């Protein structure tokens, strides 16, 4: 399952929201991957998420693969949509 999401936080995925995203992603058994600029990043790894250098207004594709992928997609999408 994939979701296209736009980062609305004016600072992008900097340390605090990246850490919160990783903490949330680790709650799920599913593999969660961020696709950005033809690269893949592990959403459960803070260093991986930070290395993506996602800025405000950037569109990312989140991929969810596993038994709890629907719940993971819903909760992570809500988290990203709520970042301001």
Reported as a single tens digit per residue, the pLDDT across 20-65 is 999 999 999 999 999 999 999 999 999 999 999 999 999 999 999 9
pTM of the predicted model over 0.75: yes
Task: Please tell me which residue in 3, 8, 12, 14 is annotated as part of the active site.
Answer: 14
**pLDDT band for position 77 (50/70/90)?**
very high
What's the CA gap between 81 and 16, in Å, rounded? 15
Q: For residue 35, indicate whether it is catalytic.
A: no
Written as six digits, the tokens of 51 are 């290395």
What's the CA gap between 2 and 5, in Å, rounded? 10
Is the pLDDT at 84 greater than 80, yes or no?
no
């Amino acid at each position: 399952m994939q979701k296209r999401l736009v980062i609305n936080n004016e600072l992008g995925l900097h340390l605090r929201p990246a850490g919160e995203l990783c903490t949330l992603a680790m709650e799920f058994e599913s593999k969660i991957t961020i696709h950005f600029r033809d690269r893949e990043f592990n959403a459960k790894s803070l260093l991986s998420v930070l290395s993506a250098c996602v800025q405000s207004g950037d569109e990312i594709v989140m991929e969810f693969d596993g038994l709890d992928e629907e719940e993971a997609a819903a909760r992570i999408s809500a988290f990203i949509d709520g970042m301001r």
